[in-house]
Amino acid sequence: MRLKRLAGVGAGFSLVELLLVAALGVGLCGVAFQLLLGEARQGGALAQRLILRRLQRRTLQLIKGDLADAQRWQLQPDPQPDWPCSMAHRDVLIAIHPAHGSAPVLYSLGTAPSGIWRGQVLMRCGPAFDLQGRSNASSTYQNRVVLDAIETIKLQQPAGLPVIEMELEQLLNGGANNNHSKPVRSTAVG
CA distance 186 to 33: 35
Neighbours of 64 (CB within 10 A): 14
- The pTM of the whole model exceeds 0.85: no
Q: Tell me which residues of the chain have a pLDDT lower than 70.
A: 1-10, 173-190
Domain spans in the chain, listed from the N-terminal domain onward: 35-189
Nearest to 127 by CA among 146, 106, 111: 106
CA distance 48 to 116: 18
Residue 54, classified by CB atoms within 10 Å of its CB into exposed (0-12), middle (13-18) or buried (19+), is exposed
What is the model's pLDDT at position 176? 47
User: What are the pLDDT digits (tens) for 80-135?
Assistant: 888 888 887 889 999 999 888 788 999 999 998 888 998 899 999 998 888 877 77
